[in-house]
A and B are shown apart, each in its own frame.
Chain A
Amino acid sequence: MRLGFILREAAKGLRQNVVMVVSVVLVTFVSLTFVGASVLLQLQINQMKGYWYDRMEVAVYLCDDTSTSPNCAGSAVSEEQRQSIEEMLKSEQLAPYIKEFAYESKDQAYENFLDQYENSALVDQVTAEQLPESFRVALVDPEKYPVINEAFSTVQGVDSVIDQRELLEKVFQLVRVASAAAAVVAIVMIVCAVLLTGTTIQLSAMHRRLETTIMRLVGASKATIQLPFIIEGVIASLIGGLLASGTLWLLLKFLVEDKLANENVGVAFISTSEIWLVAPILLIIGIVLATISSVVTLKRYLKV
């Protein structure tokens, strides 16, 4: 009975206050979309990390005729140098850091190159001779790259030591900036949404001051008096949250899955299934913020 009453009152508030409710819905929608975008970009970074870090290795490039590094002294790596480098990789000192390592000859490097740039015009211009031989080292902990770098960068016959992850870091950096930008916009918009929800609830409370005065004096409980307003705010936010989730799903479907993922086969992208993680977060944020701003507003403007 009382629950029915509370819901009817909330519905009445939503109807009486349509214009304000629509603006709350829209502002919440936009702010939660940015929250969701920021979260999705973070998920994308994690996805790429997970995908690439397993494949990313430290490459210890060996000298060839064209190398300019002082370690090479202008000549290609000798059989002796190559063996001593391999010894070092097997040594007790470095073994704890290394998961596995493999030697890649110029021919193998060329084959991998062909695989990677299958459709590129580069393939015609590159020969096996131009590609350096190398040791591919997979680390137990990829963060321990400096240990390998220190050990090999001054060894005779080593041209250079490259952490392939560093190349990726630049991409990640870009995505991180985009994610942070989305987060900043999200925070500003959330502040707007909270203030607007508060104002709307305040208006609604003023609108129904007669009802609430009567309710107060005949001894209605605080919950009966306040809940309709809180529910009003929460429903508006929920609609905003659902719109935001829908929009993000469309973006994932048509921009990420159908376009980006199709055009970049080698890259791991997030998919529409990620929405099932993000949407509940958005809805919860919407509910919590609407509840907080309603309660705070009612404390100030609705006597009980």
Chain B
Amino acid sequence: MIKFENVSMVYEPKQQNAALDDINIEIDRGEFAFLVGESGSGKSTFLSLVLREKRSTDGSVYVAGQNLNRIPSRRVPKLRRDIGFVFQDFRLLRERTVFDNVAFAMEVIGASRAQIRERVPDALKMVGLEDKARRKPTELSGGEQQRVGIARAIVNRPSILLADEPTGNLDRKNSIEVMNVLNRINQNGTTVLMATHAHELVSEYRHRVIELSRGQVIRDEIDGQYAPMTTVVNQDGSRELLVGDSAVEYDEESQVAEDKKDEDQ
């Protein structure tokens, strides 16, 4: 479904540090994979290559059998209709109801009113929000808002669902709701690729784990755990290597801060 062949991505040709460095990965139809790694490890670049927001500087990216480096720009919208995308910050339209937010994804690709009336309730049912169709996003909890975001991503029935830190802004209870929805979608045959820092979820749900670091795949386990080894700089300036949850917790906090910084820019 998604295949990276010797993919490299260099943003600034003068600098030597590549965002992705000779990646080889294949994700099959119907798989559920976590994409983990520190901020700046290449997760976002990976996702944007799948969406053909960017073209890799080297190697080939295949999605649904098409070589994305070869297809012309005018075919890109068609490609994206087969990929659903879930944002970390939900990106719902505040002035529209839940129903209209989901319908928006159909409207803009020219779906008929009848199709919208048929499919939007299905999508809302899939995420368990069929009784909140008339609400505005501001009246919903974070977890519910993210489920609206997921309903919007799947309403056009894509074969791939990409999620970029979908639980990044949610507490544990809401995160689990969202994970359950993603699992259900995956069980219906949709390939799910989720970039995340949520170590507990990764370790609990036991899907394939692909870990990136400095643009390279350093781990690829079927049934993996979120078990990174991280260098931690102590307050006195000394460094030590931590394994497991304590490292992750530290790491996650600093990364959330970094993510925020990125967004502010």
Chain A residues near B (Cβ < 8 Å): 1-2, 5, 210-211, 213-222, 224-225, 303
Contact A216/B80 with A5-B107, A210-B91 known, Cβ cut-off 8 Å: yes
Q: Is the CB of A222 within 8 A of B107?
A: no
Q: Is the CB of A218 within 8 A of B110?
A: no
**Residues of chain A contacted by B109 (CB below 8 angstroms):** 218-221, 224
| Per-position 1/0 for B76-118, Cβ under 8 A of A | 1111111111000001010000000000110111111100000
**Residues of chain A contacted by B104 (CB below 8 angstroms):** 211, 214
Q: Is the CB of B77 within 8 A of A219?
A: yes
Chain B residues near A (Cβ < 8 Å): 51, 53, 74, 76-85, 91, 93, 104-105, 107-113, 152-153, 156
Question: Nearest residue in B to A8 (C-beta to C-beta)?
Answer: B107
Say how far B110's CB is from chain A's closest CB, in angstroms.
Answer: 4
Could you tell me the distance between the alpha carbons of A303 and B53 in the complex, rounded to whole angstroms?
A: 9
Say how far A13's CB is from chain B's closest CB, in angstroms.
Answer: 14
Question: Nearest residue in B to A215 (C-beta to C-beta)?
Answer: B108
Q: Is the CB of B108 within 8 A of A5?
A: yes
**Residues of chain A contacted by B79 (CB below 8 angstroms):** 219
Question: Nearest residue in A to B111 (C-beta to C-beta)?
Answer: A1
Q: Is the CB of A1 within 8 A of B93?
A: no
Say how far A183's CB is from chain B's closest CB, in angstroms.
Answer: 40
Question: Nearest residue in A to B86 (C-beta to C-beta)?
Answer: A217
Q: Which of A5, A215, A218, A225 is the most central at the interface, judged by chain B CB atoms within 10 Å of its CB? A: A218
Q: Is the CB of B80 within 8 A of A219?
A: yes
Q: Is the CB of A1 within 8 A of B110?
A: yes
Say how far B115's CB is from chain A's closest CB, in angstroms.
Answer: 10
Q: Is the CB of A219 within 8 A of B156?
A: yes
Question: Nearest residue in B to A217 (C-beta to C-beta)?
Answer: B85
Say how far A241's CB is from chain B's closest CB, in angstroms.
Answer: 30
**Residues of chain B contacted by A303 (CB below 8 angstroms):** 53
Can you pick out 24 interface pairs between chain A and chain B where the beta carbons lie within 8 Å of each other?
A213-B91, A214-B91, A214-B93, A214-B108, A214-B152, A217-B85, A218-B84, A218-B85, A218-B105, A218-B153, A219-B76, A219-B79, A219-B80, A219-B81, A219-B156, A220-B77, A220-B109, A221-B77, A221-B109, A222-B77, A224-B108, A224-B109, A225-B108, A303-B53
**Residues of chain B contacted by A210 (CB below 8 angstroms):** 91, 93
